[in-house]
Structures are given as structure tokens and as C-alpha cells.
Amino acid sequence: MNPAGTGAQSIAELFWWMCGGGLLIWAVVMGIALYATQAHPEAHGIRSARWLILGGGIIFPVVVLTGLLTYGLMLMPPLRSTTDIDLRVDVSGEQWWWRVSYQTEAGAVVELANEIRLPVGERVAFSLTSPDVIHSFWIPSLGGKVDMIPGRTNELMLEPTETGTFRGACAEYCGTSHALMNFAVVVMTRDAFDQWLAEQAKPAQQPETELQQAGQQAFLANGCGACHQVRGTEADGTVGPDLTHVGSRLTLAAGTLPADVDAFRRWIGHSSEIKPDVRMPAFGMLSEAQLNAMAHYLKGLK
């Protein structure tokens, strides 16, 4: 209803035409129904009644539906065109988060999670897949949704027309925490986007305070690096989200929590209470002091 991309614009137009057409036809049908309750049966001969049934029951729907189908099909080729692609983003839907990878101009792959940033006015090709079950990738403000199916890669073209922060969601039931699988989409100017991508490509910041150092030690000592990568440290797991710049993200746990220190602490200690059936075990056996130190370390990974 509030498009900020060319795909969403076409879908909104189609929706309003359908809505207006549906309303008009509903009004006409209701008018005829009302008339039928009032009219005398003798007022119409058998011939005119036949014509009414033929016209209203067959000819009219065929004409209207053919028109709408043609209009709907005509909207599709420009939305799916793969020419003039400015940027490619790979996204994998996983239970219950989003693995996002960009390629820099130097050819390096930058992986992050649950956040997508795009330059405004440029055509983006998304390659969508999944390693576990079927998910569906949907940014309502920018365009239509496309399924992410294990074993195949689907393509989706989007072109944002406005800067701002939009919400993306999983639109296919994929297990217990399907509703807790969201992501932020930030559309920015080309310069700001380039700067952001260059920052994301860098290795992680070293801890600055003693508290952050203690947090890094606890992070490495408790085996977090078996699932998570923090580039520039010995943590090189690939099962879970890349945390190299997790402190710079807008949300935590795929749009479930705000990205503040308190949320990091709660998430590490109580992950399964916040997101039922989540793969990451809750580290409730850690002391409050350790959880606090880890939260400060992770928030510091800007």
C-alpha cells in the first residue's frame, strides 16, 4: 500500500485496479439482485432472460477476466528483466534467520545476517536459496515475494526508489519460530552504501575496554566460535550468523530484539525462551558477569 520500489509500485497499481473493478462489479450484481426481488416475473420474456444470463454470466466475466489477466501479465516482464543489474546480493533463508552475502568490487565476499542495505535507484538481483526448509523472501515496500527452496536458486529483481528503513519478513511457514524471522532493509545513497560495504568488509574491531576483553575471552572459551565467525579472530564457525560487525546492526535475533547490550545479554542467556526451538543453545550456566562482558564485547563489534 505504501510502495518504495518499482515492483511494489506495479503491484499496488494492480491491486487498486482490481479493488476498483471488484467494487464496481459488486455494486452492479447487488443492484441486479435487488431488482430481481422487486420485478414481476411477467415483465421479462424468456428471450431477454436468456440474454441476461448469457451476457452477465458468460460474456461479461470472459471480457473482464481476459482484460485483467492481460494487464497482470504485461506487468511481469519488466519486473523480471535481468538486464542492467547494478548489484547482486545472495540471501539464504535458514531456521530462523537470514544469511546475506555481498561481493565487493575487489571480489571479496562479505557475509552478514538479518540486514540488507541497498543503494537507492539501482537495480538489485537477489539470488535466493535455503539449506533446510522452504522460506519466502518478502520486502513488502519494495516488491513481491519469492520462495527460497532447498536445492535451487530463485532470482528476484528489486529497485528501491526511496531511501529509508523498511521491514522484510519470511512469508512461508517454516517451523516454530517462523514469525520471529524478520530483517531490516536500509535503502541509502550510493556513497553511503559504498562506505557501509567497505566497513563491513573489514575484519572485526579489537576489544577496547577491559570488560570487552573479558567478553572476548568468554566468547572464545565457551565455544561460540564453533558456530559463529568473527573475522580477524580464531572464531570461524559458519553454522550461525557471522558476528564480525554484529554491533552495527539494527536488530538482534532476526528482528526479534533491539540491538542493545541488554538484549545481547538476554539473548545469550535465554535464547530458547526468546525464540522457541532456536538452534543456538541458551548459555544460562554462565554468570551474569560473563554474560554482561560478552554482551559488551559483541555490541562493540561495530
**Of the two residues 146 and 291, which places its CB atom closer to ligand CUA in the complex?**
146
For ligand CUA, the closer CB: 130 or 271: 130
CB-nearer residue toward ligand CUA: 100 or 181? 181
Binding site for ligand CUA (CB under 6 A): 93, 96, 135, 170, 172-174, 178, 181
CB of 134 to ligand CUA, least distance (A): 8
- Distance of closest approach, residue 89 Cβ to ligand CUA, in angstroms: 17
Q: Which residues of 176-190 are buried (b: 16+ CB within 10 A; e: fewer)?
A: ebbebbbbbbbbbee
If the CB atoms of residues 8 and 128 are measured against ligand CUA, the closer one turns out to be: 128
For residue 115, the minimal CB distance to ligand CUA (Å) is 16
Q: Which is nearer to ligand CUA, 93 or 168 (CB)?
A: 93
Q: Residue 93 CB, nearest distance to ligand CUA (Å)?
A: 5
Cell of 222: 565457551
Q: In whole angstroms, what is the distance from residue 213 CA to residue 119 CA?
A: 35
